[in-house]
Amino acid sequence: MTELPEERLAAMGLELPTTVPPQFSYISTRFVGDLLYISGQGPREPNGSYRAGKVGSDVSVEQAYADARLTGLHLLAVAKESLGKLSRVKAVVKVFGMVNATADFDRHPQVINGCSDLLVEVLGEPGRHARSAVGVGSLPQGMTVEIEAILQVGP
C-alpha cells in the first residue's frame, strides 16, 4: 500500500501551517483545466512574521534552505486547502523560486532545493518538477525566499 502524502508528513514529524488569505487584489490559487497555479508563498512563522534577511550577507545558505523548506510546507498547505487532499496532486509541474540575495550571491539553486527536496519527500515521484531559481534585490517584508508553483491535479 502506498503511503499518502499526509501520512508522509506525519511520519516526518511535520504539520502543514495555517494558510492566510491574500491581503491584496489577487487570489491564492487559480485552476486552469487540470492545473492549479499557487501564488508565491514565503517562510511565514506561526506568529505571522516572515523569516527575513539577505542571503549572502546576514543569512547563510543553510538557513535559507530551511526557509525554502518552510515555504514548501506553505505551498502544500495552500494546495491541500484548495484540493481537500494532497493525493490529488498528479505532478508538480513547475516551481519558481526567488531568493532575496546580495548581488554577488550565486547559489540560488542550493537555497531553493529546500522546497524541491521537501516536495519530493512528501509527494514522491509526482513531486519532481521543472524549476527556476533566481536572485532578486528584495522581496515583500524582507523575506528570504518567495516560491510559487504549478500543480497538475486529478480527481
CATH code of residue 55 = 3.30.1330.40
Q: Which residues pair with 134 in a beta bridge?
A: 98
Q: Output the pTM of the full model.
A: 0.97
Residue 132 is assigned to a structural domain of this protein: yes
Closest CA to 115 of 77, 60, 73, 68: 68
Alpha-carbon distance of 2 to 117, in angstroms, equals: 19
Residues with Cβ < 8 Å from 63, sequence gap 6 or more?
51, 53, 144
Residue 97 is assigned to a structural domain of this protein: yes
Residue 10 is assigned to a structural domain of this protein: no
Residue 32 is assigned to a structural domain of this protein: no
Residue 23 is assigned to a structural domain of this protein: no
Q: At what angle do helices 61-83 and 108-123 cross, to 10 degrees?
A: 40
Query: Cell numbers 522581496 correspond to what residue?
Result: 139
Looking at residue 1, what is its pLDDT?
Answer: 42
Looking at residue 23, what is its pLDDT?
Answer: 87
Buried b (16+ CB within 10 A) or exposed e, 22-34: eeeeeebeeeeee
Domain extent for 94? 39-153
Q: Which ranges of the chain would DSSP assign to H, the alpha helix?
A: 5-11, 61-83, 108-123
Residue 34 is assigned to a structural domain of this protein: no
**What is the maximal distance between C-alpha atoms in the chain?**
48
Q: Give the single-character DSSP code of 18.
A: P
Could you give the number of structural domains in the chain?
A: 1
Looking at residue 103, what is its pLDDT?
Answer: 97
Task: Decide: 92 and 125 in contact? Cβ < 8 Å.
Answer: no
Q: Tell me the pLDDT of the chain (155 aa) as tens digits.
A: 468 999 999 999 999 999 999 989 999 999 999 999 999 999 999 999 999 999 999 999 999 999 999 999 999 999 999 999 999 999 999 999 999 999 999 999 999 999 999 999 999 999 999 999 999 999 999 999 999 999 999 99
